[in-house]
Every structure is written in C-alpha cells, then in structure tokens.
Amino acid sequence: MISIALTIVVNVITIAVVTGFQNEIRKKIVGFSAPLFIMKDGNKNIYEADPIHIDQNKIDKVKTLNGVKSVAPIIYKPALIRSEKFEDRNNKEIIKQDVTGVVLKGINEQYPMEFLKSQLVDGKIPSFKGNDQGVVLSKKICDDLNFKIGDEIAVFFVKKQSLMRRFIIKGIFETGIEKIDNEIIFASLIGVQELTDFGVTKENSLNYVSGFEVQIDSWEDLENQYQNISEIIELEPNEHTELLRVVNILESENEIFSWLSFLDTNVLIIIILMLIIGIINIGSVLLVMIVVKSNFIGIMKAIGANNWSIRKIFLYQTASIIIKGMLIGNLVGLVLCWLQSYFQIIKLDATVYYLSSVPIELSVVDVLIINIITFLVCMISLLLPSMVISRISPSKSIKFN
C-alpha cells in the first residue's frame, strides 16, 4: 500500500511541477513577445529586422481571423543607457557614470498590456500614446544603474550622428528571465520611430516599424494560426512591394522551448520508474498472500474451484490494497500541491530557474490519467505472479498445513 501511495504522490507532484514550470515560462516568453511575429522576409533576427510599412491591407486581414486576439505594431532599437551618480543633491558634479546596452521596444495603445501589468513590481504603465516620454524597464537594470520611479534617464542611439534622448521611468517589471530583464525597455512607438535610422526622413520614419506581434486566443492553436496567417502574408508582396514572412516563436526562441520539451522526457522516466517500484512491491505482496493462504488454495481446489476463480479472489484483494494506496497517495499529493500553490513554501533562485517559487499546475484530467494508468499497469502486471496458484497441489498444500 505504501509503495502505491508513494507512486501516486511522486507522479502527481512531478506532473504538477513540470506542467506549472512549462506553462509559467511559456507565459513569460510569449507575454513579452508574441506567439507569432510578422516581419520582412530575409531577416533572421527580429531585433534587427528591416523596416516595413505600418499600414498594410494584409495586416487588416490577419486581424479578422478567428482566434487572433491582437495584432500590434512594434519596433526594436538598440541603444545605450547611462546612469549618473552625483556627490549629493545640491552638488551636481558627476562622480560616476555607468553605461549598459539595452533594446528599446516601441509599442502603442494597440499592444496588449495585461501581461506587462502583471509583471510590474513598482509604478504603472504609461499610456504609450504619441511621443510619450514614459518608459518601463526591469528591476535588474534599475538595481544595476541605481534608478527608481520618476528618474530621468539618458538613452543614446547610434545613427549617422550620435543622438541622446531623455526618458522618465514610470514602471519597473521583473520576470526572472535574464534575456528580458537585462535588455528590454518599453517605450512609445512614435518616440522610438523618430529615433530610428531607417534610411528615410524623420517624417517618413513614422510610417515604418520592425514588424507586427500577433497574439492568439489559445496556445494549442499555434500551428493552425501560423499556417492561416502565412497563407495571407507570404503568398505575394504587399501593396508596398514588400515580401513578408511569419516567424513562429518556437523557431525564434528554439533553445528555451526545446529545453521545456525535454522536461517531458524527464517526467516520463520518473513515472516509469515509480510504476516499476509499485509493481515490484505489490507483486511481492501478492506472492506473500499466496504462500500464506496455500492451505486455503488447496481446500478450494479440493472442493472443485478452478484456478482462475481462485486467482480472481487474490486479485480482488490486491486490487483493494492498490485502491487504498491510491486514495492515500492522491490525498497526500493533492494536499502538498495545494500547500505549495498557495503558500510558495519551496523557493527558487529566479536568476537560475526564471521563477521565484516552485510552480504548481494540475488538472482533473491529469490526476485521472495518473490513477487509471497506475491501476491498470499494476493489475495487468499481477496476472503473472498470480499464475503461481495453478502450480499449487491441493493434496500437498493440505497435507503440509
């Protein structure tokens, strides 16, 4: 019973933790980018994509597709950010300067803000309308450069001539994902467009963006939406004679998603090992029961009972032990998952695991599948040891006892 309970506990917790971990990391990656990205064909890196026109008939068609939540223009611009440390508030003589490389992500009011708001640790989200000076950056950058809410920051851009612009910190976020926390700063779309050297005049630069981020209603529908949008975008050039392509986040963030997929293999190995342990232990229990009850088996055979009917008696008894163990295992496993989910008892180093605590996500379907598989595998595996009953001689077992 204990081995079956332990099998259920370990498998429930394993699936809950791995599923929670995969979904939380995916939500953060997708939340700060998008499942699908439309950009100019021939570019491999969305952070250095060639500009495309912001007004396009094809984009309007994509917005009308079922399952498409939003289509937002965005622009990426590499820059340098500088912090200045003064002797004191009255003495404005600079005694120290720190510079770090960042990537400004220009967005406007069409950009879905829900996830960004959920990751805020201080401040608020600016409107990002027009040439808004407000920016949102990570706690990591703020800690490194000694910034706080309301500070004015100097950002330098490399164009034909170096250009400096000042922004005001309105919000601070924290994801735990190094790539995002070390680089990304959210600013207004128009503000970044004006600073971007697209090889056009300042006035015309407002007509260009790096691409469009497409958010969808369901992650499970990613491949279908990718195909649907590709058929609209990639068949022929748009009205500006631009060839476009659709980038799947599984392609652009291949390393992270490959790592997350590899976790499924680990889960499978753990489940198989725990099932083997459960099978060995419950099989041993059945054999002990058969040896102890050999006199009973002999008597049953003597009065005419066949081997299968006797085997069923022992299988039913073993099944009751398995079910009791499963009930205990489910109770313990679900309670432990609940405690971790609500109280975050086990903490993690966010700089290593991207999360501050062990995540838990478990569905009723997952629990049912674990229990059904455990019960069926254990019962099927007991058919072999139960065959020992057929080898017991009625006369010898009765005489022996």
- Three-class SS state of 361: coil
What letter represents residue 6's amino acid? L
Pick from 266, 263, 267: which is nearest to 354 by CA? Answer: 263
Pick from 147, 125, 144: which is nearest to 136 by CA? Answer: 125
Structural domain total, the chain: 2
In sequence order, the β-bridge partners of residue 365 are none
**Average pLDDT of the segment spanning 7-30:** 94
- 111 lies in the same domain as 168: yes
% of the chain beyond a pLDDT of 90: 56
242 and 198 in contact (C-beta within 8 Å)? no
Token pair 């009972």: residue = 305
Residue 84 binned pLDDT confidence (cut-offs 50, 70, 90):
low
- 271 lies in the same domain as 214: no
- 237 lies in the same domain as 279: no
- 233 lies in the same domain as 331: no
Token pair 């975008």: residue = 233
Question: Comparing 81-95, 224-238, 302-316, which segment has the lowest mean pLDDT?
Answer: 81-95
Is 139 part of any domain? yes
Please tell me which residue, 397 or 290, carries the higher pLDDT value. 290
Q: What tokens were used for 373? A: 């598989």
218-229 as b/e, with b when 16 or more CB fall inside 10 Å? Answer: eeeebeebbebb
Q: What is the largest CA-CA distance in the chain?
A: 106
Q: What tokens were used for 181? A: 């926390």
Q: Which of 222, 252, 282 is the endpoint of a domain?
A: 252
% of the chain beyond a pLDDT of 70: 92
Is 245 part of any domain? yes
pLDDT surpasses 60 at 90 = no
- 282 lies in the same domain as 182: no
Cα separation of 392 and 301, whole Å? 9
Is 192 part of any domain? yes
Sign of the C-alpha dihedral, residues 222, 225, 229, 230? Answer: positive
**Average pLDDT of the segment spanning 338-356:** 89
Pick from 251, 323, 203, 232: which is nearest to 35 by CA? Answer: 251
Angle between helices 294-302 and 254-292 (to 10 degrees): 70
Is 29 part of any domain? no
Spell out the alpha helix ranges (H) of 136-221: 139-145, 178-181, 189-195
- 359 lies in the same domain as 225: no
How far apart, in Å, do the first and last CA atoms of the chain sit?
28
Token pair 């990639």: residue = 234
Q: Residue 241's pLDDT is what?
A: 83
pTM for the structure as a whole: 0.84
Residues 6+ apart with CB under 8 A from 358: 17, 20, 21, 340, 344, 346, 347, 348
Please tell me which residue, 168 or 296, carries the higher pLDDT value. 168
- 102 lies in the same domain as 205: yes
pLDDT digits (tens, 9 = 90+) for 155-201: 988 766 678 889 999 999 998 888 899 999 999 999 888 887 665 55
Q: Residue 245's pLDDT is what?
A: 93
Is 53 part of any domain? yes
Would you give the DSSP letter of residue 291? H
Mean pLDDT in the chain? Answer: 88
pLDDT surpasses 70 at 116 = yes
171 and 126 in contact (C-beta within 8 Å)? yes
Q: Residue 85's pLDDT is what?
A: 57
What letter represents residue 199's amino acid? G
pLDDT digits (tens, 9 = 90+) for 99-110: 889 999 999 999
Phi/psi zone of residue 285: left (φ > 0), alpha (ψ -120 to 50 degrees), beta? alpha
Question: Comparing 72-76, 209-213, 258-262, 363-367, which segment has the lowest mean pLDDT?
Answer: 258-262
Q: Residue 4's pLDDT is what?
A: 93
- 296 lies in the same domain as 237: no
Residue 55 binned pLDDT confidence (cut-offs 50, 70, 90):
confident
- 205 lies in the same domain as 229: yes
**Which structural domain range is residue 189 located in?**
34-252
Radius of gyration of the CA atoms of the chain, in A: 31
Pick from 154, 72, 146, 160: which is nearest to 114 by CA? Answer: 72
pLDDT surpasses 70 at 94 = no
Q: What tokens were used for 299? A: 């008597």
Q: Which of 217, 252, 287 is the endpoint of a domain?
A: 252
Q: Which of 252, 279, 300 is the endpoint of a domain?
A: 252
- 247 lies in the same domain as 261: no
212 and 33 in contact (C-beta within 8 Å)? no
How many Cβ atoms from other residues are within 10 Å of residue 121's Cβ?
A: 11
The per-residue DSSP string of 200-220 comes to S-TTGGGGEESEEEEEES-GG
- 108 lies in the same domain as 142: yes
Is 348 part of any domain? yes
- 266 lies in the same domain as 374: yes
20 and 359 in contact (C-beta within 8 Å)? yes
